[in-house]
Structure 1
Amino acid sequence: MNILFVADPLEAFQTYKDTTFAMMRELQRRGHRLAACEPRHLSWRTGGVVHAQVREIALTGTLDDWFAQERCATRALREFDAVLMRKDPPFDSEYFYATHLLEQAEREGARVFNKPAALRDHPEKLAIMEFAQFTGPTLVTRDADEVKRFHAEHQEIILKPLDGMGGMGIFRVGADGLNLGSIIETLNRHGTTTIMVQRFLPEIAQGDKRVLVIAGKPVPYCLARIPQGSEIRGNLAAGGKGVAQPLSARDLEIANGIGPVLAARGLLLVGLDVIGERLTEVNVTSPTCFQEIAQQAGFDVAAVFVDALEAALAR
């Protein structure tokens, strides 16, 4: 099969931990052919179809010069057996526009994973609202007074922007409310931007768990991203330490409750973030942690993902 990845620049991949690279490696191992482009390479014009300037590549087996470009060509997306949308957040206007181009490619016959409409319908922080039975106390607002009332009720809170990634822009405010007003102004931009506020979960000390769900079924191991030093953020991008561990009974309950719902909507791969026993985010754009789990737990997540992709394409 011919597989196209819509992703970040190949030269920026950190192959020792990159999940998209792990997918590519497993696909090539099975004999599938690889191509890649960036969202900026997608294009459409009247009377034509969605196409892109793509790089047809082969993996070299080394981690440094890890790919060889065989040729560069303009190709219609519907020519590929599958298109994998693996562009990292943020989910900004350009990402939004890319999903519309990908959806048009679907109308023309392309098979896109995760489904573009589902990517738009499940913003990674706001998607938890549908599954409130699994979450802790959460507030979504742009109103400063409402945030202050939430703080008065819960004492210790976390505030974060809705478009952040990798722990960016996350603040913790304690019972004393120190700097709460200033933090609200920074995040909600004086009432013009909606933010998320959640009760602080002390279980973060044991890690912010990334629970992967593939085709509606949970991977049996998660990656607990444990904050280091004085940090409150477990995100690997913020210096957290990743520790693979088996799913707990509560992790399984959450994953089994959410996974089939999202799979039915065209989300082949989902990453649930769980702190303690509470769901905090639903990641659908480019969930990661394949390699860390494989290296530490010996469970080949990439193989399970490619199994699911092949099965989806056979239907």
Structure 2
Amino acid sequence: MISKIVAIQGNHPSKLNSLTDTSVFLANEIQKKNYRIFYYDPKNLSIINSKVIASGFFIKFNYKNKKFFKILKKQKLELAKCKFILIRQDPPFNLEYISATHILDTIKNKVKILNNPTSIRNISEKLYSVRYQKYMPSTIFTQNINEIKKFFKRHKKVILKPIHSYSGNDIYLLNRFNMKLINQFIKKHDHIMCQKFLPKISKGDKRVFIINGKVCGAISRVPKQGSFLSNMSKGAKPINIKLTTKENKISKLIANDLKKENIFFAGIDFIDQKLNGDINVTSPTGLKTLYDLSGINLAKTFWKELKV
């Protein structure tokens, strides 16, 4: 029998910031409909006797308390007995992440998993953007140092990004060609993304929220003084904004494609009306921030789209 349980595969709640965290925001909303929340870390996922078992705990979230969560009961749970599983751990998208998607693949016909584990595995958050390059700043994906040198000569200021990292980690702004730095970067990350620097990032990027093939809202994140990183984890300040006609058109196109790919919840980013090439499907964030800025509750939209 399928119970009113939502399992969340994520980082331990003690590592989360309740003021901004989207997983907590989604869990808090579904609790109102008398669903129980079961929380587990991907490393505690197993296949035992052909059943997918997670060691974790039932948990209750409450924004009113200083400690915003209470662990109710530690136990093992057969995940096929849940109504929904939310894949919400932070990248990096590494072998552990891939193994977890393979394990969850075995029960995806028995329980609704968001996002679909096969789809997460197939959609590299940065490489998937190749199909939208006409909407992006000039971008290459390579580990060839000569190609990077040519690209740098053409654009003078270049952003280097690892393909499988997250939250603005390990991103470099290249003002002068530094062979040693680039070689170390490639050695650490293999293929990397090189992108023409857009100076208007100083005015902020735009994070667009896509739920079930629909463009549902957006916020802007303005880097702190002297920074080019628009991640809130790196000190960027969120502000309320609207999308331009051009941004809305591109967002709808991507939303439609992602729905066909079985991606239910995603976030995409624009800088100066150009797609920056991050198609966030592993663990999109920002819903709580949008709510605090605008009063728009996309956690309600999320569960409504699932017909809860």
User: Normalised by the shorter chain, which TM-score bucket?
Assistant: over 0.9
Structure 2 CA distance, aligned partners of 1:105 and 1:77?
8
| 1:208 corresponds to | 205
Partner of 2:12: 9
Q: Does 1:227 align with 2:198?
A: no
Of the three residues 181, 184, 192, the one matched with 1:183 is 181
* Superposition pairs of residues 73-92 of structure 1, within 5 angstroms: 73-92=75-94
| 1:27-66 superposed matches below 5 A | 27-45=30-48, 47-66=49-68
Q: Do the aligned residues in 1 keep the contact of 2:149 with 2:177 (CA within 8 Å)?
A: no
Asked if the contact 1:53–1:75 (Cα under 8 Å) also holds between the matched residues in 2, the reply is yes
With over 3 angstroms needed to count, the CA separation of the structure-2 counterparts of 1:90 and 1:24, relative to structure 1, is same
What's the counterpart of residue 106 of structure 1?
108
**Contact 1:113-1:266 within 8 A present in 2 as well:** no
- Partner SS for 2:106: helix
User: CA offset at residue 32 of structure 1?
Assistant: 1.8
* CA–CA separation in structure 2 for the residues paired with 1:48 and 1:194: 36
* Match of residue 117 from structure 2: 116
Q: Aligned with 1:100: secondary structure?
A: helix
Does the 8 Å contact 2:160/2:172 carry over to 1? yes
Aligned to 1:195: 192
* CA-CA distance at 1:273 after TM superposition: 1.2
Separation (CA, whole Å) in 1 of partners of 2:196 and 2:177 = 17
Q: Which amino acid aligns with 2:146?
A: D
Identity fraction in percent: 27
How far apart, CA to CA, are the structure 2 residues paired with 1:60 and 1:140?
A: 43
**RMSD of aligned C-alpha atoms?**
1.6
2:159 match: 158
User: What is the CA distance between 1:133 and its match in structure 2?
Assistant: 2.7
Kindly tell me: are residues 218 and 189 of structure 1, through their superposed partners in 2, closer, same or farther at Cα, counting changes over 3 Å? same
State the one-letter code of the partner of 1:83.
I
TM-score normalised over the length of structure 2: 0.94
Contact 2:57 2:71 in 1 (8 A): yes
Task: Look up the equivalent residue of 1:149 and give its one-letter code.
Answer: K
Read off the aligned partner of 2:129 and give its amino acid letter.
I
Q: Is the 8 A contact 1:171 1:183 kept in 2?
A: no
Cα-to-partner distance string for 1:218-270 (whole Å, 9 max, x where unaligned): 123x1211112111111112211111212221221111000011112221100
The TM-score, its normalising length taken from structure 1, stands at: 0.92
What is the DSSP-based 3-state SS (H/G/I as helix, E as strand, rest coil) of the residue aligned with 1:165? coil
- Partner Cα separation in structure 2 for residue 59 and residue 228 of structure 1: 31
Match of 1:241 among 231, 237, 251: 237
Residue among 265, 268, 278 paired with 2:264: 268
Q: Aligned with 2:239: secondary structure?
A: strand
1:22 counterpart (15, 20, 25): 25
Choose 199-208 or 93-102, whichever is displaced more.
199-208
Taking the aligned partners of 1:152 and 1:76, their CA distance within structure 2 comes to 55
CA contact (8 A) 1:214 1:269 kept: yes
